[in-house]
Structure 1
Amino acid sequence: MPPEPIPEPIPFTGWIRVALRGVTLALLVFGGLLILLLLRLVERPIYGLHRPVTPHITQFVCRKAFRILGMEFKTHGQRMELRGAVVANHSSWLDIFTLNARKRIYFVSKSEVAGWPGIGWLARATGTVFINRDRKEAKVQQQVFEDRLLAGHKLLFFPEGTSTDGMVVLPFKSTLFQAFFSDHLRHEMHIQPVTVIYRAPEGADDRFYGWWGEMDFGGHLLKVLAAPKQGSVEVVYHEPIRVDDFPNRKTLAAHVEEVVRSGMPPERRG
């Protein structure tokens, strides 16, 4: 990918937008988190792993976040109702809002995220599955995957393994796909490929919403909040793929990668 862009100074009017949008967004997110945690106190002892109520809070917050930012949000295709997981390309921290806004999903994330201030709290509260790259924990993590998937949770992960500038889809790593080939899962599971496309505000760098490499989260957040005009995000839900139709994780990962890439604009499929 090209080098990260040099941050531009935020003008005075931009700081006003940062304050207005930032405070409103914080009230929405942390207010929603408080309501979610209170409801979870009742929901968890009654339903256990099942969450019939609280995901609606997450969806509401994420939809409203785009209104606060002033970003256009568009979707195409049907959300999968079958048992299984969702796989998408990864461009930005905005993916959390984008992919939660219309579909009830639970992210799969590296264990380090659980300790991040703010983001870690939100991730734990919304049911994120944290994975550790330690092979000694592979069996335990496999069991967690199976329990959550068989409970009807749609787990979402990013096979690229990192975020990008939004202009490319990186080769998919096949490691996490192996979980779906256990005897308990492969005959029941489906994968829905999802393509996420960010379009920059008029006149801005095409990579405006991309967050990658060593880019600072705080600086990128401020840039987005300060923008006088916003761009858009488009989510393409592709047809679900049956795990049983593939002999192994590598062929499944390669096919899903091809489908996700096909949903990008032609100039971003390279």
Structure 2
Amino acid sequence: MSTWEGGDAAAPIEISATGWMRVALRGLLLGVLVFGGLLILLLVRLVERPLCGLNRPVTPFITQWVCRNAFRVLGMRFRTKGALMTNRGAVVANHTSWLDIFALNARKRIYFVSKAEVAGWPGIGWLARATGTVFIKRDAREAQKQTALFQKRLLLGHKLLFFPEGTSTDGLRVLPFKTTLFAAFFHPELRDHISIQPVSVVFLPPEGDEPRFYGWWGDMDFGPHLLKTLAARRQGEVVLHYHEPLRVSDFPDRKALAAACEARVRAGHTMLRSGGVLANGQDVSAT
């Protein structure tokens, strides 16, 4: 996974003896939850696939349950605001770290769009394939094939989710949205029938820790970042703000649509990071 190269380097990760105890306990519970859930999902999929094909009436609920409970294992508070989009379409969000995958799956049944290389990654690749991730190649020659794939999945009612920034960050900012993937939504078979829902994702650090605590950027590796998260004595919280969906047909082209999505994600991100009140929010934490 590519990460943002800007900003100051993160401080070295230091874990105390009690921190390693938390790593062991939380790591064991998280492993049982994730891979136990994966096993159940694969068993259900053996029946679901021949009966329903690309439709997945059951397995997305398993993914959602696993991801929601992952935050309970971590001890991290999870809050959301805004209504989930019910009509056909896609979801776009800013990208802070691998934790986004758990956060966005925890509230909404979605299918991620990811670069093709992820399919071959040990562990993460297996999970991605099992949960119905759409893998794409960032190659202009593949544009027509990708549009056809998007069309097929969207017309089935699947909610596709991608990160238009194209990279994860330190969590303090929203980078400019790349417009390439937005072009697929303007295909004649899709444009008049789908919407895009922007989502602002904010990770607030544990009390006393630096604001970038959950960010994943620069030359960070997955392993140390995971260990730091598992070892934290106190956890922070993740807040998701689901904005009003935008109808693709209301925009002249991909650039205008991407700009509108970016503006909403950026505004929500700024508001939540500056201490804005999450009025009428839903707290699904068990901490």
Structure-2 residue corresponding to 1:14: 19
1:13-92 correspondence to structure 2 within 5 Å: 13-92=18-97
Residue 133 of structure 1 deviates from its aligned partner by: 1.3
* Maintained 8 Å contact 2:202/2:272: no
Gaps (5+ residues) in structure 2? 1-5, 275-287
Structure-2 residue corresponding to 1:167: 172
Give aligned-pair identity as a percent.
Answer: 68
Separation of aligned partners in 1, 2:182 and 2:28: 39
| One-letter amino acid of the counterpart of residue 111, structure 1 | A
* Maintained 8 Å contact 1:106/1:128: yes
Q: Can you list the C-alpha shifts for 1:115-146, whole angstroms capped at 9, x where unaligned?
A: 11100000000000011012222222111111
Q: Point out which structure has higher relative CO (alpha carbons under 8 A, 6+ apart).
A: 2
Q: What SS is found at the alignment partner of 1:235?
A: strand
Q: What SS is found at the alignment partner of 1:202?
A: coil
With normalisation by structure 2, the TM-score equals 0.92
1:224-243 correspondence to structure 2 within 5 Å: 224-243=229-248
Separation of aligned partners in 2, 1:232 and 1:81: 26
Separation of aligned partners in 2, 1:7 and 1:124: 33
* Maintained 8 Å contact 1:4/1:215: no
Aligned match of 1:214 in 211, 214, 219?
Answer: 219
Structure-1 residue corresponding to 2:158: 153
| One-letter amino acid of the counterpart of residue 109, structure 2 | R
Q: Is 1:121–2:108 an aligned residue pair? A: no
Residue 7 of structure 1 deviates from its aligned partner by: 1.8
* Maintained 8 Å contact 1:17/1:225: yes
With normalisation by structure 1, the TM-score equals 0.97
Separation of aligned partners in 2, 1:205 and 1:237: 26
* Maintained 8 Å contact 1:187/1:243: yes
Q: What SS is found at the alignment partner of 1:263?
A: helix
Q: Is 1:110–2:115 an aligned residue pair? A: yes
Q: Can you list the C-alpha shifts for 1:24-44, whole angstroms capped at 9, x where unaligned?
A: 000000000000001011101
Worse overlay, 135-144 or 69-78: 135-144
Aligned match of 1:199 in 199, 204, 217?
Answer: 204
Residue 103 of structure 1 deviates from its aligned partner by: 0.2
Q: Can you list the C-alpha shifts for 1:64-109, whole angstroms capped at 9, x where unaligned?
A: 0000000000000001001000000000100010000010000000
Aligned residues: 269
Q: What SS is found at the alignment partner of 1:170?
A: coil
Q: What SS is found at the alignment partner of 1:209?
A: coil
Worse overlay, 25-34 or 4-13: 4-13
Separation of aligned partners in 2, 1:267 and 1:21: 28
* Maintained 8 Å contact 2:80/2:239: yes
Structure-2 residue corresponding to 1:100: 105
Separation of aligned partners in 1, 2:67 and 2:272: 29
Q: Can you list the C-alpha shifts for 1:179-204, whole angstroms capped at 9, x where unaligned?
A: 00001000001000000010000111
Q: Can you list the C-alpha shifts for 1:48-67, whole angstroms capped at 9, x where unaligned?
A: 11110000000000010000
Q: What SS is found at the alignment partner of 2:202?
A: strand
- Aligned-residue Cα RMSD (Å) equals 1.1
Moved beyond 4 Å, runs of 4+ = 266-269
Structure-2 residue corresponding to 1:184: 189
